[in-house]
């Protein structure tokens, strides 16, 4: 399994990105500007449309060497030979996904509290998403907001590579990196921005600055 760079993890949202074409364009621009992972997340989409988006995203991201992660849909990840699958707490368990996906693909797991983090299967999970750290309008059914203080506490007991997610906008990444997270995951801070490449570059700059 190659080492995963979680620095800036873009989660795509078809509504914020302007549909399938907008999503592919945003992903491509963000990846060119340094986004290190891209996740296709479109819970409202039917399978056929999801598959088409995955095919187009894979074609756009492969030449840039940026891994494509598929949210929830294991079959689509297998169909397009994506880099991995991201599951939530109510999706297929990591153990099942790992068995079906094999040892070489990536598996990410959404968590929103200490007990979910403690329950993440250590040797089967490549990374955890932890959030929402801040209030977000992007995921209406998100778990309760964690807040920076509790998030920092969670990072003290970190057992797996982790990305912070939820309400992270430009200028908000540095304290999360300082708390020990490996990267930040964003939707609206890149998707739907007038210049996704500039938004990506600014966030990356902040992340790198906070590390040095």
Q: Does residue 186 interact with ligand TZP by CB under 6 A?
A: yes
Report the candidate in 62, 182, 57, 61 with the shortest Cα–Cα distance to residue 73.
57
Helix residue spans in 81-184 (DSSP H): 94-101, 114-119, 148-156, 174-178
| Binding annotation | 71-72, 91, 110, 136-139, 167, 187-188
- Choose which of 14, 84, 108, 132 interacts with ligand TZP (CB under 6 A): 132
Greatest alpha-carbon pair distance for the chain in Å reads: 44
Stretch that binds ligand TZP, among 120-128, 174-182, 185-193, 201-209 (CB under 6 A): 185-193
The only residue of 5, 32, 92, 139 in contact with ligand TZP, by rule CB under 6 A = 139
**Token duo for residue 165:** 């997610």
Residue ranges for the binding site for Mg(2+)? 72, 91
Burial label for 124, CB within 10 Å (0-12, 13-18, 19+), is middle
Give the x/- contact pattern for ligand TZP in 102-121, rule: CB under 6 A.
Answer: --------------------
What is the binding site for ligand TZP (CB under 6 A)?
11, 131-132, 136, 138-139, 142, 165-168, 186-189
């Amino acid at each position: 399994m190659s080492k995963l760079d979680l620095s800036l993890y873009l989660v795509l949202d078809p509504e914020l990105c302007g549909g399938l074409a907008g999503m592919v364009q945003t992903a491509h621009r963000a990846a060119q500007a340094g986004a290190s992972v891209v996740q296709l997340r479109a819970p409202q989409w039917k399978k056929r449309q999801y598959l088409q988006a995955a095919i187009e995203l894979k074609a756009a991201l492969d030449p840039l060497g940026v891994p494509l992660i598929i949210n929830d849909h294991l079959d689509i990840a297998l169909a397009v030979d994506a880099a991995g699958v991201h599951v939530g707490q109510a999706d297929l368990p990591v153990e099942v996904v790992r068995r079906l996906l094999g040892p070489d693909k990536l598996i990410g797991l959404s968590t929103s509290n200490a007990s979910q983090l403690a329950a993440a299967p250590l040797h089967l999970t490549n990374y955890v998403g932890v959030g929402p750290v801040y209030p977000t309008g992007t995921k209406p059914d998100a778990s309760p907001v964690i807040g920076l203080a509790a998030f920092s506490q969670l990072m003290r007991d970190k057992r797996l590579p982790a990305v912070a997610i939820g309400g992270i906008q430009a200028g908000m990444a540095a304290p999360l990196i300082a708390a020990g997270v490996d990267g930040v995951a964003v939707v609206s801070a890149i998707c739907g921005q007038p210049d996704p490449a500039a938004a990506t570059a600014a966030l990356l700059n902040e992340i790198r600055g906070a590390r040095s």
